[in-house]
Chain A
């Protein structure tokens, strides 16, 4: 049973978050001290300095933007197609019967197979890269949306059948708000998965982006460069979560406030 009076305050939550982040930095710093070889494990300050240099020299931002562009494109494609497929499969027993096997196959297909096949079939192109990432994410979004569609309130279905608002209005104002928690979960899980797959796609077949730079770092055995690009992009994804996903979720859920 929850008890609001014992919930920690916002200030305490922020303090704990900062303390846990600092603890990770201290652990990293201690490990770097113990290893005492910057080529194997550079200290946090060393990596921070390298990030600053890459930023000043103008190398970091173009690669981050290239990766971010691919993440956004693949995310948009995967969420749109996954939402439509999930809704269809959740609402239509026939569609679910026809598509369920394909969905299970796609869910279990290793990301690497999809990526390699897309590059082989479509060439080492931007379309192949985004398609490969989206194909890896669509099945997961579809499953989450199918569950959401199955949980839609039948009383609201009855209401729309009686008053017959236009389909577009019913979808936007009756169906999608009910799916908002599922959309938020799929979006959050999706973003985390997508950017990791984008790095693999870039690693294997793109001439720019964070994954490409990590590939370069791997070839030169440059651990600092790998950490510079990986951590920079983590910061961007955390910013997307804090500045876009969470505010959207708050806006979508404002009707729940007393």
Chain B
């Protein structure tokens, strides 16, 4: 469970976010929609605990994993090592989760030898291997061509439902939000605030 009570987030003198409340209950799947530059990534970094410099409080209960906007892999380690070294799981579990995301046979490939779509799958596999109770997805289908994005969306939605974990998706695409989430929130205004999407 995540509960964020944000009074404000400012860069120097400019307030960019807040006040706002955000709650993610166990098993809930929420998407935050908003145009580029509105502060989605800033809000996500606060929710994920990557940015502690804000006015307000944040409570987190449960194990958290994240799929970043960029795949954020270790280019000098192969696919299996990218999972085992970072999450601490064994080789067998890493191979299983790679198979789940459709990367069977790519275990010994380095990220630079994989396509962008495959790198994103590897990033998703790493997050799933951590066995999270809360999964955060930051624009995970950005820069993919339409067909690959569709495949990734269906795969991600299926894996999240199978594991009945909480999920927070941040995206600018309504289509992606609908595919993954039960509830959709919209981030807009200046400073940006969260509202229920119409």
Q: Which of B68, B74, B88 contacts A158 (CB 8 A)?
A: B68
B64 interface residue, CB < 8 Å from A?
yes
Residues of chain A contacted by B87 (CB below 8 angstroms): 163, 165
A176 to chain B, nearest CB (A): 10
Q: Which of A162, A166, A174, A177 contacts B50 (CB 8 A)?
A: A162
Whether the Cβ atoms of B113 and A258 lie closer than 8 Å is yes
B49 interface residue, CB < 8 Å from A?
yes
List the 9 closest A-B pairs by CB distance, nearest first.
Answer: A255-B76, A177-B76, A162-B66, A159-B72, A255-B110, A163-B86, A155-B72, A173-B85, A165-B86
Which chain B residue has the least Cβ–Cβ distance from A180? B76
B83 to chain A, nearest CB (A): 10
A163 to chain B, nearest CB (A): 5
A161 interface residue, CB < 8 Å from B?
yes
Residues 39-61 of chain B: 1 if any A CB is under 8 Å from the residue's CB, otherwise 0?
Answer: 00000010011100000000000
Which chain B residue has the least Cβ–Cβ distance from A178? B76
A23 interface residue, CB < 8 Å from B?
no
Residues of chain B contacted by A169 (CB below 8 angstroms): 85-86
- Cα A162 to Cα B60 in complex, Å, equals 13
B188 to chain A, nearest CB (A): 25
Which chain B residue has the least Cβ–Cβ distance from A169? B85
A93 interface residue, CB < 8 Å from B?
no
- Cα A174 to Cα B113 in complex, Å, equals 19
Given contacts A159-B86, A163-B86, A163-B87, contact A256 B74 (CB under 8 A): no
Whether the Cβ atoms of A156 and B72 lie closer than 8 Å is yes
Q: Which of A163, A255, A256 contacts B130 (CB 8 A)?
A: A163
Given contacts A163-B87, A169-B85, contact A174 B72 (CB under 8 A): no
B35 interface residue, CB < 8 Å from A?
no
B75 interface residue, CB < 8 Å from A?
yes
Residues of A within 8 A of B (CB): 155-156, 158-163, 165-166, 169, 173-174, 177, 252, 255-256, 258
Which chain A residue has the least Cβ–Cβ distance from B126? A163
B70 interface residue, CB < 8 Å from A?
yes
- Cα A256 to Cα B87 in complex, Å, equals 24
Whether the Cβ atoms of B68 and A159 lie closer than 8 Å is yes
30 contacts between A and B (CB under 8 A): A155-B68, A155-B72, A156-B72, A156-B74, A158-B45, A158-B50, A158-B72, A159-B66, A159-B72, A159-B86, A161-B49, A161-B50, A162-B48, A162-B64, A162-B66, A163-B87, A165-B85, A165-B86, A165-B88, A166-B88, A169-B86, A173-B77, A173-B85, A174-B74, A177-B74, A177-B77, A252-B76, A255-B75, A255-B76, A255-B112
Residues of chain B contacted by A155 (CB below 8 angstroms): 68, 70, 72
Q: Residue among B75, B86, B126 with the most chain A CB within 10 A?
A: B86
Residues of chain B contacted by A177 (CB below 8 angstroms): 74, 76-77
Residues of chain A contacted by B48 (CB below 8 angstroms): 162
